[in-house]
Amino acid sequence: MKTKIIHITPNNMNRLFFGTQAQGGHTNEESRNKMKKILYSALQSELTDRQRTCLIEHYLNGKKEKDIALEQNLNPSTVSRHITKAKEKLKHIASYYM
């Protein structure tokens, strides 16, 4: 199976990490940037290769789960599970900083 390398840059990171709003509905750019760095680091170090690939393909490249499954030779439900687990891990890590 051929592995596709996907690079995450500050330019495309916003497509994966959505901005959060502080209390009162005001955004805090500094806090958002800090959270992006934390989640970027977690994305690289805390997720399995499959979780990372499925999450990036789905959110950054806009692919459907069934298309990712075909490319990765996986069952669509497995792709869905990888995406869900990856999001749970990132959410758990982010909760320490909120």
pLDDT of residue 94: 84
Q: Tell me the angle at which helices 65-72 and 49-59 cross, rounded to the nearest 10 degrees.
A: 140
Q: What pLDDT score was predicted for residue 8?
A: 67
- The residue written with tokens 């901005």 in the block is 19
Domain hosting 88: range is 52-98
**89 lies in a domain?**
yes
Domain count, the chain: 1
Q: CA-based angle 19:21:60, to the nearest 5?
A: 15
pLDDT score for 71: 96
Q: What is the mean pLDDT of residues 41-69?
A: 94
> Residue 19 corresponds to which tokens in the numbers above?
């901005």
In a domain, 76, yes or no: yes
